[in-house]
Chains A and B, each alone.
Chain A
Amino acid sequence: MVVFALFIISKSGGLIYNREFHTGLNKLSSNDLLMVAGSFHGMHEITKQLCPNPPPPTIPSNTAPTPFAARATGLEVLETSQFRMQCFQTLTGVKFLLFTEPQQPNIDTILKKIYELYADFVMKNPFYTVEMPVRCEKFDRGLDGFVKVRG
């Protein structure tokens, strides 16, 4: 199993974390990485709008919008000839992008586990400000342990 890289994109489209586990993707400068993250944020929004048959709106319009109602999700899996990208968006709009080999099974569980690590070591870190780049040693070590042990 090969996991190439992990990106975390904040709800406003900024790249707040990126980590390369395995060579295989092109080396990009940090400027290019920020651009890729930003444009992906926009593309993700467009894929939401392109939904060919939207589910009928069942919620009456006078109730407040709830994040738990069924709504169109954007891009989830992107397949190319050399890698596969899985996108997991949390209810608060943070996106986790995991780049793996094309034939990688069980990416869902890997992403769930990474989300757990993020919740434990980043969100519960009192020195972390939201929307800012993630610099938490424990998160790094947790990821290393998890991804490399499985690798």
Chain B
Amino acid sequence: MVLYSFYIFDRHTECIYSRRWTPARPTSSSSKARPQSEGSIASNGDNSTQQARKHTDDEKLIFGLVFSLRNMVQKLGGEDDTFLSYRTTEYKLHYYETPTRMKFVMLTDTKQNNLRPYLHQIWANLYVEYVVKNPLAPVEHPGGIGVANEMFERGLETFFVAVLPA
């Protein structure tokens, strides 16, 4: 199985945790897709900041996308319908939303079956255990404070290696 990326969004539309396993994108395609005012100046010098900006751009795009897809699905299928996943020829996006409106999103290759049970497990066994029950972590996580602690990271690592279908 190929994992591309994994995101957690809180109920305030903010990305509180993200992780990617993909190599950096070629700059030409992204600059064509989203023109940036200072992109031409920054293209040679600080590649890292540009890369970081692209990551946050992607997070916002993904959030907006799953939010509107979810609304569209509820409009068409009724209030109790839930959006599970979508697939393109290149990747597949899996989606899980907790009752508290936290959103777990995972991008994988297209051959995967629905990963919603696994996303649920990440929430129940890792997020709740290591982030919610952590007495040092704040209740809300603005900017991702308190989410990426050592236990959670290590738990995710072993989860991806051991539990997810190879």
Contact pattern, A 32-43, Cβ under 8 Å of B = 1, otherwise 0: 100010011011
Distance in Å from the Cβ of B4 to the closest Cβ of chain A?
Answer: 4
Say which size band chain A's interface belongs to.
20 to 34
The contact of A50 among B61, B75, B81, by CB within 8 Å, is: B61
**Does A99 have its Cβ within 8 Å of any Cβ on chain B?**
yes
A47 contacts B65, CB within 8 Å?
yes
Interface of A is mostly: loop
How many chain B residues touch A (Cβ–Cβ < 8 Å)? Answer: 39
A77 contacts B86, CB within 8 Å?
yes
Residues in B with CB closer than 8 Å to A42 are: 68
Alpha-carbon separation in the docked complex, A28 to B77 (Å): 10
The contact of B87 among A26, A51, A76, by CB within 8 Å, is: A76
Q: Which residues 14-49 of A have a CB within 8 angstroms of B? A: 25-26, 28, 32, 36, 39-40, 42-43, 46-49
B33 contacts A49, CB within 8 Å?
yes
The contact of B84 among A54, A72, A74, A81, by CB within 8 Å, is: A81
The contact of A80 among B62, B64, B83, by CB within 8 Å, is: B83
**Does A117 have its Cβ within 8 Å of any Cβ on chain B?**
no
Q: A52-B107, A73-B89 are in contact. Are A32 and B75 (CB under 8 A)?
A: yes
Contact pattern, B 119-142, Cβ under 8 Å of A = 1, otherwise 0: 000000000000000000000000
B81 contacts A52, CB within 8 Å?
no
Residues in A with CB closer than 8 Å to B107 are: 50, 52
A47 contacts B77, CB within 8 Å?
no
**Does A57 have its Cβ within 8 Å of any Cβ on chain B?**
yes
Q: Known contacts A39-B68, A51-B91; can you find 18 more A-B pairs with CB under 8 A?
A: A36-B75, A39-B72, A47-B65, A48-B88, A50-B58, A50-B93, A52-B107, A73-B89, A76-B86, A76-B89, A78-B73, A79-B87, A80-B83, A81-B77, A81-B82, A82-B81, A83-B76, A99-B76
Binding site for B on A (CB under 8 A): 25-26, 28, 32, 36, 39-40, 42-43, 46-54, 56-57, 72-83, 99
Binding site for A on B (CB under 8 A): 4-5, 20, 22-23, 25-26, 28-29, 33-34, 58, 61-62, 64-65, 68-69, 72-73, 75-78, 80-91, 93, 107, 114
